Structure 1
Amino acid sequence: MTRALTAIASLVCLALAALGMTACSPLALFDAIGPRDAGGRQALKNQPFGPNPRQRLDVFVPVSAPETAPVLVFFYGGSWQSGAKEDYAFVGQALAAQGFVTVVPDYRLYPEVQFPGFLEDGAAAIAWVRDNIAAYGGDPRRIVLAGHSAGAYNAVMLGLDPHYLRSAGVDPKVVRAVAGLSGPYDFLPFDQETAQRVFGQAPDPAATQPVAFVGPHSPPAFLATGAADTVVRPRNTQSLAAKLRAARVPVQERIYPGLDHSDTLLALSVTFRSKAPALAEMAAFLQGQANPRVQAAARARP
């Protein structure tokens, strides 16, 4: 298959995965014909972090790294209804090549759970990371969270609302920064079917919204989306970024011209990296914020 056909096939499969459809596996396609970042490798597969079959994670490490590296926990999307960590090994390897010990966890999905079950799973995965990641060269004191679409919601919500981490026995301060690609952060009222199913039973709808938890001690955030995204509108990114700036929290906002909902995920892969500098910009921001001196200096600026 030519490179052009490979790109087309990869685009179709990854777009379906980003929209919560599982008609084909992007990871299976990438394993067969897609190039991978040579600077990362998988070090652990299907590690339990809880008793449920969906509570498993994979770990990717840099091929060349200092004695300890910052840790990035990546949550994939799928409308909280679908997805599998195996389909996102290309992301784990790409982020590991950027210098992060990278963890990609599964989490329970609707209809097995509704809000906040998937957030509780995310917090449990972070607790495992805190307790075990040093064995893989990761620094448990320098954890950053990232995700795409519904996974961006998970990452950002876990960073902004500290009670999920505290309930899992984790000090929220270990999260140095968060990054969201095309995430929903400000989506009241629940006027879409997915939101109604997953969040509609919440006794306090406002407590489901990341924007409700912004404060001066919120972690720094990298927030990116595509200007052509009609699945999760760019106003979500703009609203959260504005709230963070108003609270004087460091935030880097990127709205990439011409990109749609799946494109911000695709841009992390070798095949589609020319779509936007999302990988390089996100990695640079998170690497900087994982350095305590950089974070302290950023917060001290007037």
Structure 2
Amino acid sequence: MTINRKRYYPLVIGWCLVAFVLAAYAQQGTTPVTYQLVQNINYRPDVADDDYIRERCVLDIYYPEQAKDFPTVVWFHGGGLTGGEKFIPEELQEKGIAVVAVNYRFSPKVKNPAYIDDAAAAIAWVFQHIGEYGGDPGKIFATGHSAGGYLAAMVGLDKSWLQRYGVDADQLAGIIDFSGHAITHMTIRAERGIKDTQPIVDEYAPLYHVRSDAPPLVLVSGDRELEMLGRYEESAYFYRMMKVAGHQQVYLYELDGFDHGAMAAPGFHILLHHVNELTKK
């Protein structure tokens, strides 16, 4: 199901969530499921070499203890690549999936591409270790909001980042990008002295790496009249160019009435829907 310029209303989202929860409950039956949270795991192999890496390059993993072969959502927080903190979204808790919340380094303390490399290292860690917690390495999704969505899209589209860690980006079950830049990120432009109203598309833009053989791509944007700068239009062009390149599984949603920050809450319902659909046997 491909959706172009889709207006997604809260009532529809609510019914989708009810259906998803009922289906998950039916699958679980009466067996109780408990969830475990393990915090502040260092994910970089060079963690001993740098105090800032030890501080920032950590992740939390939240997972269902009794389950096996569950999907995993790797969640990158927003904050413009200059701030923010990892968290397990409430909307993704107790949904039969694992959530890996990732911290990464910030500009200006580091410069591009350090934070992109952090995102790749974190995703690679999940591929290498999720089986130890019961998860299926074939069901890993790169996701995030704003700067986090940008990182997920960059690492998922430009295969060179994960190749550094021995992982093929096409092993991702999907990329779910909440209102992330499709052009080169504004903080990367600021590091070069370029204002945030000057769009650039270079090798640090997800748009630069559109390809037909990428993992399924889900783009979720807030209301075009309420979003930050031209974020909806970036997402719409990203969607169109992926289609032009021949990609068969790209989806675009616009959340009416929600601005850049508020769109994440209803966006989680879309995320759960696609995780469920893309991991069906």
TM class, shorter-chain normalised? 0.7 to 0.9
- Do 2:171 and 2:215's aligned partners in 1 also have CA atoms closer than 8 Å? no
Q: Return the structure number with greater relative CO, CA threshold 8 A, min gap 6.
A: 2
Tell me by how many angstroms 1:243 deviates. 1.4
Match of 2:277?
Answer: 288
Q: Distance in 1 between matches of 2:174 and 2:239?
A: 14
Aligned partner of 1:168 among 165, 171, 181: 165
Separation in 1, partners of 2:132, 2:190: 39
CA gap of 1:109–1:44, structure 2 versus 1, over 3 A, is same
Structure 1 residues 175 and 234 mapped into 2: Cα distance closer, same or farther (>3 Å)? same
Partners of 2:188 and 2:81 in 1: CA distance: 9
Deviations 1:192-241 (A, max 9, x none): 6x34234669xx96101101111110111111111111345211111111
Under a length normalisation based on structure 1, what TM-score does the superposition of the two structures give? 0.71
C-alpha offsets along residues 145-202 of structure 1, whole Å, 9 cap, x if unaligned? 1100000000011110000000121122221110011111125xx8x6x34234669x
Aligned-residue Cα RMSD (Å) equals: 2.4
Q: Deviations over 1:105-155 (max 9, x none)?
A: 111110122221111111111121112111222111221111000000000
Q: Report % sequence identity.
A: 29
> What residue in structure 1 maps to residue 268 of structure 2?
279
C-alpha distance after superposition, 1:33-86 (max 9, x if no partner)? xxxxxx8744210011121121100001137x642101110111100000111x
Aligned length: 234
Higher helix share: 1
Q: Tell me the residue number matched to 1:5.
A: none
Partners of 1:232 and 1:195 in 2: CA distance: 17
Q: TM-score, normalised by structure 2?
A: 0.76
Structure 2 letter corresponding to 1:46: N
Per the alignment, do residues 287 and 237 of structure 1 end up closer, same or farther by CA in structure 2, a change over 3 Å counting?
same
Structure 2 distance, partners of 1:135, 1:124, is: 18
- Residue in structure 2 matched with residue 230 of structure 1 by the alignment: 228
1:76 is matched with 77
Question: Can you give the 5+ residue segments of structure 2 that lack an aligned partner in the other structure?
Answer: 1-32, 48-52, 195-199
1:34 aligns to what?
A: none
